[in-house]
Structure 1
Amino acid sequence: MLHLRLIVPSDRTDEVVRLIESTVGAVHLVVLPGAARDPAGDVVMCDVAREAGDGLLSRLQDLGIDRTGSIAADNVDLSLSTRADRAEEEAPGEAADAVLWQHLVEETHEESTLSVTYVAFLAIATMIAACGVVLDNAVLIVGAMAVGPEFGPLAGISTALVRGKPRLAARSLIALVVGFAVAMALTVGFSVLMDLLGQFSKDQLDGSRPNTGFVYAPDAFSFVVALLAGAAGTLSLTSAKSGALVGVAISVTTVPAAANAAVALAYGDTTQTVGSSEQLLLNLFGIVVAGVLTLLAQKAFWARKGRKSAQGTKGGKPETA
């Protein structure tokens, strides 16, 4: 369930209340006349099944409540209510499958912001991966993948392409390009320092690396894995299953490829630099493609659900999912 808290201009309250009352899956309606001070208006609260939440939020935006008042939504972790259980049964589809497009746009906007923290995480992850590729240590590679924050901008690009948000696309692309450029430049310097300290050597980079040699040898499987990971990562965002996103982070060769390219560049190894860069670009492209296709599939699925629900509610009998 979602809990909505609205600040509504007093002259629009009746209209908003009617909208909520007519929404299948909405319950626990509360109206507090004159309770809001900034902006002034009435406070309207309700709970709504997650699968019906996107439709209600869109209609509230169509009424302009986000401009003249306020719309806030929170996840309800526990709701002991027979009426809430009935509302979730009546709402079309399943909560785990529901996509809250407004929340997705907001979340990806936040995750794709070019900030000092974002660049720091990406740079640290790339340096850890640099240690991993030189030492041929798979544990360090996995750790670096888990630390890397690059999926945020990739999800932002996918969302922007599907939702037609050019600003989000530009913001995400800048974060991705600048973030990797800075991280790789810092890793080149890190590699030079480690070489001076006797911790890195070109022989280690050129030697047999059964655990990490794949990072500069892109192949068809690299693209297949990127597609699968991109789909899984997008599903984890839309269903709010963050645990799955961790699995995605440690399954795609983005940060390790960037690290290998940086270390190879520090030693003037153009073969590995080019191969690693190709691996990086291939994986980034595959994740975006999969993200777009997954979102388009979810969009089509819920459009079909919405049509079936509309047909099921004719005559005042809501279709039960």
Structure 2
Amino acid sequence: MRLVQLTIPTGKRQTILETLDERKIDYVVTDEDSSREYTAVVYFPLPAPAVEPVLDELQETGIDDDAYTVVVDAETVVSRRFQALREEYEHGDVGTDRISRQELQAEADSLTPTFSVYAIMTIISAVVATAGLLLDSPAVVVGSMVIAPLIGPALGASVGSVIDDEELFRNSVSYQIIGIILAIGAAAVFAWAVRITNIVPPGLNIASVGEISERLAPDLLSLVIALGAGVAGIISIATGTSVALVGVMIAAALIPPAAAAGIAIAWGQPSAAIGSTALVLVNVLSVNLAGLLTLWYVGYRPDNLFALGETQQRVRRRVLGLAVIVLVFAVFLGAITYSSYAVSNFEENARGEVETTLSEDEFSEYQLLEFEVVMDDNYPFVGPQRVVVTVGGPEGEVPPELADRLHERINQHTDDSVGVQVRSVGLVER
């Protein structure tokens, strides 16, 4: 429910009040004595879905943007006529549960802080995420998402496009671009400082850190997170519900991958930063794409009907452009996903070959103790570099025939040659 306060320009009092009467809207009018171009202020309660059509109709009577229109939440309205208004406008679907276009624009503006605050909070969030990744601490990484101020710019571009507010669109796009650069740059600088001061163990292999490795070689499921965040974010802001948790979800799609890219750069592995940087870009684009589609679906349009055709064409162009770019990135992520699938298959087949070989009579005295596939560092398309097999058995060296047999059988399952090490009391390498 909303309480609308509207200043009535000189000469428009009767027209505005007749419009409210025709819609059976209760109102209270107070005279304005500030010696300006307004004669009165009218107050009237409305169900949330009625705000946009009523304000649009009042604007058609001659209310311009210079007039003051204030829309505030109303906790309770007791009125039989108001109940009839609710029944007329509320139908229980997303389209009627949404807030007005005017409120949406104000909400999008309010979610974006000033540039200095945005820059500082983005840098802090990236630094905290970098620390969390290096510590392999999911709790710290989640904490970095909470303080990230990304939801405003991420949703503002979609809102600006749909309601024909190009200034909001340009500002939001600029904020997003600057935010990505700041996040990756801050993460790289902080990770470099951590590395050269030996705060982390010297020679740390970042690929061995779980929180980092999963973002250096992202898969196609990462796209689902970004699309879901975009839809959820728009529905939250459009229905006037809390956007705090959705903001965390959007930050989850952007801040940790940006921090992982910065870490890879600081470790002198730019190829390892490719996957995480691609993940950041595809997530940003996916959030914008999902936001655009969702806003248009729930019925938001520009206030000027003459601009509807132009806005619709602009939205279509942007949706098409975003969809094509996201599709290209999706193919890239799909290739990474397939590469990971192939590695998993190789690991399973290689283990099977080891178990089969050790079950043969001539090697039956040996027992598999440990099996490990060591990956190369060719990010984002990592592959097996060598297989390490640890067996237990009689004292002495492991027969060379065992290493030869395992090398031959394991390499049947890969196009590239993979080294095989067999360890026991001694070590045989092939």
Measured against the shorter chain, the TM-score band is 0.7 to 0.9
Residue matched to 1:23:
23
2:39 to 38, 41, 45: 41
SS at match of 1:233: helix
Residue matched to 2:249:
250
1 CA distance for matches of 2:136 and 2:5? Answer: 52
Change (3 A) 1:67 1:230: closer
SS at match of 1:119: helix
SS at match of 1:73: strand
Change (3 A) 1:269 1:62: farther
1:57 to 55, 58, 78: 55
Residue matched to 1:136:
136
Q: Tell me which amino acid in the other structure corresponds to 2:50.
A: A
String of CA shifts for 1:78-106, please: whole Å, max 9, x gaps: 33444433321232434872231111122
Q: What's the RMSD between the two structures over aligned residues?
A: 2.4
Residue matched to 1:233:
233
Aligned-pair CA distance for 1:57:
1.9
Q: Tell me which amino acid in the other structure corresponds to 1:229.
A: A
Aligned-pair CA distance for 1:262:
1.3
How does 1:21-170 map onto structure 2 within 5 Å?
21-23=21-23, 26-27=25-26, 29-37=27-35, 40-94=38-92, 97-112=97-112, 114-170=114-170
2 CA distance for matches of 1:156 and 1:133? Answer: 29
Aligned-pair CA distance for 1:209:
2.7
Q: Tell me which amino acid in the other structure corresponds to 1:249.
A: V
The answer to whether the 8 A contact 2:126-2:184 is kept is yes
SS at match of 1:299: coil
Q: Tell me which amino acid in the other structure corresponds to 2:13.
A: T
Segments of structure 2 that go 5 or more residues without pairing to the other structure are: 302-430
Aligned-pair CA distance for 1:59:
2.3
Q: Which has the larger radius of gyration?
A: 2
Change (3 A) 1:290 1:237: same
Change (3 A) 1:63 1:259: farther
Aligned-pair CA distance for 1:63:
3.5
SS at match of 1:67: coil
Q: Bigger CA drift: 14-23 or 228-237?
A: 14-23
Q: Bigger CA drift: 49-58 or 188-197?
A: 188-197
- Normalized against structure 2, the TM-score is what? 0.64
1 CA distance for matches of 2:202 and 2:68? Answer: 59
1 CA distance for matches of 2:287 and 2:155? Answer: 8
Residue matched to 1:310:
none
The answer to whether the 8 A contact 1:137-1:211 is kept is yes
2 CA distance for matches of 1:92 and 1:281? Answer: 38
The answer to whether the 8 A contact 2:206-2:212 is kept is no
Residue matched to 1:309:
none
Residue matched to 1:312:
none
SS at match of 2:99: coil
String of CA shifts for 1:239-276, please: whole Å, max 9, x gaps: 1111x541452364200111111122122211221111
Segments of structure 1 that go 5 or more residues without pairing to the other structure are: 302-321
The answer to whether the 8 A contact 1:114-1:175 is kept is no
Aligned-pair CA distance for 1:231:
0.5
Q: Tell me which amino acid in the other structure corresponds to 1:128.
A: V
Q: Tell me which amino acid in the other structure corresponds to 1:280.
A: V
Residue matched to 1:273:
273
Q: Bigger CA drift: 59-68 or 165-174?
A: 59-68
Residue matched to 1:2:
2
Counting matched residue pairs gives 298
String of CA shifts for 1:36-69, please: whole Å, max 9, x gaps: 5555421111011111111112223333424342
Change (3 A) 1:238 1:56: same
Aligned-pair CA distance for 1:134:
1.1
The answer to whether the 8 A contact 2:45-2:77 is kept is no
The answer to whether the 8 A contact 1:114-1:179 is kept is no
Q: Tell me which amino acid in the other structure corresponds to 1:126.
A: A
2 CA distance for matches of 1:202 and 1:257? Answer: 23
> Larger helix proportion, structure 1 or 2?
1
Residue matched to 1:311:
none
2 CA distance for matches of 1:84 and 1:204? Answer: 66
The answer to whether the 8 A contact 1:215-1:253 is kept is no
SS at match of 1:65: coil
Find runs of 4+ consecutive structure 1 residues off by over 6 angstroms: none
